[in-house]
Amino acid sequence: MDEEIKRLEELVKQGDADAMYELGHYYLYGQKGLLENYEKAKELFEEAVNLGDARAMNILGYIYEHEFGVPQDYEKAKELYEKAANLGDTSAMNKLGYMYEHGEGVPQDYEKAKELYEKAENLRNAREINNLGYMYQHGEGVSQDYGKAKELFEKAANLGNTSAMYNLGYMYENGEGVPKDYSKAKELYEKAATKGNKVAQEKLSKIKASIEEARKNNNDKISYYKDKSIEELEELVKQNDDKAMNELGRRYSDGEGVEKNLEKAKSLFQKSSQLNNPDAMTNLGQIYLTMEIKSIDDLLKNKQNYIEARKLFEQSKIIYEKLYEQSQKEGYLNYIKHVKTKLSELYLTLETIDTIESSDKKDKEVLQNDVIAKPKVNEEVEKLKSLVKDLNSKYISREQTVRMLANNIYHGRRVIKEIKDSKTVRDNISTILLISSTGGGKTAIVSDLAKEFNVPFTSVSLSAGYTQAGYKGLDLQSIFTKLINVANGDVEKAQEGIIILDEFDKIRTKEDSHDEEFKRALQQELLSYLEGREVQLDTKGGPTTFNTSKLTFILAGAFQDITEYDMNYTDEDIKDAISKGYESELLGRIGIYHYMPKYTKEDYISILNNSKISPLSNFIVSCSIHGKNVVTSPYSPFIESVAEEAVKLDKGVRGLNSIFANILNWYLDDLIYGENDISLMESYETIKKKKGRGK
């Protein structure tokens, strides 16, 4: 027997679909010393079909269509061609197209035939595009160019070429010309594997293992343990895994997936703390602070709990600081800030307890009233949760931004209330950088939060001619004057306000520029305000001293040269991307980097159908004023086409509002003089043409 046949038969036993296809081919045409054996060929092709091999589907379809040892069966042939075509097999597409063109076993359908022929042609082109990308990827006959390779692979992948999907996945897996991204690689391998690409199928198990390992080894950045089930965590706890203990303790503490059990949570946090897990220390410290305080006696009885909590927070702070020194990861700075805030609160509480213990009876009665009158943090947190929930229903697809801003503004209010030292206050109020395009919703969200927290708020654009103090033009200090005016002249209140400095990207300097000293000076002056300082202002009420230590600064910019960011990118990634053109000390004062992605078509559809401030809802209200109803549906062509128009405009919700301002203008005559209701069941373009506003 031919050695090649022996090799293939051995591979067939191991379940190799490629070997089944090749051996079946030899039996079908009587090659490699084998006699024609249609039955054996059919059997091998059927095994390969069951394993998802598109070529086997195609050739088996051909067998049924042309009676190769089986009765002619057009229905079976069509079914197999369709399966292969769906997996990107261009030969099957052409065969299926031929059946539709000639009405062979199917109703004659020239449109369907044309569609299949064109798709097959596109995919053949995709192969050529992929091959060219491969040449650029490996520098074969051309200069190696990963950027060009990526562009070509993406184009071919969008046309359905599985090899291009695999090649693009390989680039993401190995960081060739793109940031290394296992998740992106896995997504591409899965797409290719689903369409029958064998190499991608083999890669999948390996990349999944790589992702699992990366998540486990880098779990401060990726939630490896949060994805585990209770049973999986319990198994890891048995293996003395401190991070699993902490996560399982958190589940019991919050009642997440299990019945809430603080004692169980406490035990797990204690075990994890003994293994020097700083997260568990802070969680355990928090449990010591859950006691309800209704009287001075309660406060005094729980003194030891406060002392234990303080020890735990102090210990975790030391570990976080060491971890930051070793890794320089910005995430650890946030942990350090959180722990410092808790410690500040505890120092104040213990100081209060010491004061009470040394006070006489009369003083204790006064203090008793202060303690009882003090609002409980839990009640404030519940109000915060309710606020976030309400804003999320208003600002669709901005849930993470809403939560981040609400949490930080709330935290800032707590810091200002509890801490007296201005430097400590400044260090505990984070400066936030928002990367957001026009119409992203940042100003509206912050404005709503400022109203809810009853703090003055102003937003200014740094591209509006601002200069450093003492120069002609708008100086930065005038922003503080503006904030005082918003606070109706109340300087104390204004000093606790919120300022958005928009178009922060416009004050970046360029390496090759010699005339941008004013931008550097502006950055340096801004840095001094972010660090906290006193400023002398001329206001309506006369000369005024204004302290910037308690202000919440939000820096914002579009940063149009930064692309392809998503919410999986870290603070460090974004910081590295924007670092050029800024004083390093200025970037050092930014505590939070937050990216607000552009709205997608799906986002706009959700805003139109679900948001409390949907421009469609406002349009319906406008029509009702004139006694007219609006006929529409969440599934009408109108909704989808408006969303597509908003994507083209690329101005966020502002663009969406402008579209509806136009629509309202087109319908004003109908609303005022017409008798019929307004129908929005046709596409935006159709309505535009009917109203004489488009071709």
Q: Average pLDDT by consecutive 10-residue portion of the chain (695 residues)?
A: 81 87 86 85 90 87 86 90 84 86 86 80 72 81 83 84 88 81 82 80 76 56 66 89 90 85 92 91 87 70 87 90 78 78 77 70 51 54 85 87 91 86 86 85 91 93 60 69 92 94 85 65 88 88 90 88 52 71 86 86 88 88 89 83 91 91 92 89 89 71
Q: Residues 178, 251: one domain?
A: no
Q: Residues 438, 515: one domain?
A: yes
How far is residue 671's CA from residue 443's CA, in Å, rounded to a whole number?
33
**Tokens coding 387:** 């606020």
Best CA proximity match to 170, nearest among 193, 147, 186, 191:
186
> Residue 651: inside a domain, yes or no?
yes
Q: Residues 193, 213: one domain?
A: yes
Best CA proximity match to 70, nearest among 105, 39, 30:
39
Residues 683, 641 contacting (CB under 8 angstroms):
yes
Q: Cα–Cα distances in Å, from 469 out to 268, 542, 661?
A: 56, 18, 41
> Residue 529: inside a domain, yes or no?
yes
Q: Residues 481, 563: one domain?
A: yes
Q: Residues 574, 628: one domain?
A: no
How far is residue 467's CA from residue 462's CA, in Å, rounded to a whole number?
9
> Residue 119: inside a domain, yes or no?
no
What are the residues facing 547 on neighbouring strands? 534
Best CA proximity match to 281, nearest among 255, 252, 242:
242
Give the three-class secondary structure for 432: strand
> Other CB atoms closer than 10 Å to residue 482's CB: what's the count?
17
Domain interval for residue 33: 3-108
Best CA proximity match to 258, nearest among 248, 268, 269:
248
For 255: left if phi > 0, alpha if psi spans -120 to 50, otherwise beta; the answer is left
Residue 645 has φ and ψ, to the nearest 5°, of -65, -40
Q: Residues 490, 617: one domain?
A: no
Q: Residues 171, 286: one domain?
A: no
For 241: left if phi > 0, alpha if psi spans -120 to 50, otherwise beta; the answer is beta
Give the three-class secondary structure for 537: strand
How far is residue 529's CA from residue 543's CA, in Å, rounded to a whole number?
19
Q: What is the structure's pLDDT at 372?
A: 46
> Residue 361: inside a domain, yes or no?
yes
Q: Cα–Cα distances in Å, from 671 out to 547, 608, 617, 621, 626?
A: 54, 21, 16, 12, 6
Give the three-class secondary structure for 43: helix
* Cβ within 8 Å of residue 379, ≥6 positions away: none
Rg (CA), the chain: 33
How far is residue 465's CA from residue 476's CA, in Å, rounded to a whole number?
10
**Tokens coding 353:** 């307890």
Angle subtended by helix axes 38-50 and 54-65, to nearest 10:
140
How far is residue 254's CA from residue 244's CA, in Å, rounded to a whole number?
15
Residues 349, 291 contacting (CB under 8 angstroms):
no
Q: What is the structure's pLDDT at 472?
A: 41
Quickly list H helices, 579-614.
584-588, 601-610
Residue appearing with tokens 């394993």: 51
For 598: left if phi > 0, alpha if psi spans -120 to 50, otherwise beta; the answer is beta
Q: Cα–Cα distances in Å, from 369 out to 201, 290, 379?
A: 69, 21, 19
Q: Residues 385, 338: one domain?
A: no
Residues 521, 478 contacting (CB under 8 angstroms):
no
> Residue 102: inside a domain, yes or no?
yes
For 394: left if phi > 0, alpha if psi spans -120 to 50, otherwise beta; the answer is alpha
Give the three-class secondary structure for 433: strand
DSSP code at position 591: E
Q: Cα–Cα distances in Å, from 197 out to 52, 201, 373, 606?
A: 9, 6, 68, 35
* Boundary (domain end) residue, out of 533, 563, 595: 595
* Boundary (domain end) residue, out of 108, 142, 169: 108
HSE (CB half, 13 Å, CA atoms) of 182?
14
Q: What is the structure's pLDDT at 668?
A: 92
Q: What is the structure's pLDDT at 115?
A: 82
How far is residue 417's CA from residue 414's CA, in Å, rounded to a whole number?
5
Q: Which amino acid is at 365?
A: E
Residues 26, 32 contacting (CB under 8 angstroms):
yes
Residue 280 has φ and ψ, to the nearest 5°, of -65, -35
Number of domains in the chain: 5
Q: Residues 633, 617: one domain?
A: yes
What are the residues facing 475 on neighbouring strands? 467
Please name the helix (run of DSSP H) or strand (run of DSSP E) that holds residue 419, with its range, or none.
none
* Boundary (domain end) residue, out of 317, 341, 368: 368
Give the three-class secondary structure for 612: coil
148-154 long-range contacts, CB within 8 A, separation 24+:
149/176, 149/177, 150/177, 150/178
Q: What is the structure's pLDDT at 100?
A: 87
* Cβ within 8 Å of residue 58, ≥6 positions away: 80, 81, 84, 89, 91, 92, 95
Q: Residues 203, 233: one domain?
A: no
Residue 285 has φ and ψ, to the nearest 5°, of -60, -40
Strand 534-539 and strand 542-547: the pairing is antiparallel
> Residue 117: inside a domain, yes or no?
no
666-673 long-range contacts, CB within 8 A, separation 24+:
666/691, 666/693, 667/623, 667/691, 670/628, 671/622, 671/623, 671/626, 671/628, 672/626
Measured distance between the N- and C-terminal CA atoms of the chain, rounded to whole angstroms: 72
Please name the helix (run of DSSP H) or strand (run of DSSP E) that holds residue 439, with its range, or none.
none
Best CA proximity match to 198, nearest among 157, 165, 237:
165
Residue appearing with tokens 């990726």: 222
Domain harbouring 239, CATH code: 1.25.40
**Tokens coding 209:** 């293992």
Q: Residues 564, 428: one domain?
A: yes
Domain harbouring 512, CATH code: 3.40.50.300
Residue 665 has φ and ψ, to the nearest 5°, of -60, -40
> Residue 649: inside a domain, yes or no?
yes
Q: What is the structure's pLDDT at 155?
A: 83
> Residue 116: inside a domain, yes or no?
no
Q: Cα–Cα distances in Å, from 287 out to 208, 266, 290, 312, 474?
A: 37, 7, 5, 11, 50
Q: Residues 47, 132: one domain?
A: no
HSE (CB half, 13 Å, CA atoms) of 103?
2
Q: What is the structure's pLDDT at 281?
A: 93
**Tokens coding 280:** 């568990």
Q: What is the structure's pLDDT at 224?
A: 65
